[in-house]
Amino acid sequence: MKKEEIKKWREASKEEIENKILELKRKLYELKNQLLIGQLKNYSQIKEIKKDIARLKTILRERELGVKK
């Protein structure tokens, strides 16, 4: 996720962010299944998706705490 994309998500609604997190979790599940059956070619995708989920969760948590960025 690039800096411009992160800025876009900071302006998005809570529901949009939660939907994106669910979408990324589904994609992560599919990638883990591909890894188990030996079809995954790009292992770094798993790491990137985990980081993206963490970034989005951080944005939600900052909103809960009232942190401005």
Tokens of 69: 């960025």
Residue 4 has pLDDT above 80, yes or no: yes
Average pLDDT over residues 9-14: 94
pTM (predicted TM-score)? 0.89
How far is 23 from 68, CA to CA, in rounded Å?
26
20 pLDDT tier (thresholds 50, 70, 90): very high
Report, at the CATH architecture level, how domain 3-63 is classified. Orthogonal Bundle (1.10)
Structure tokens of 56? 């989005």
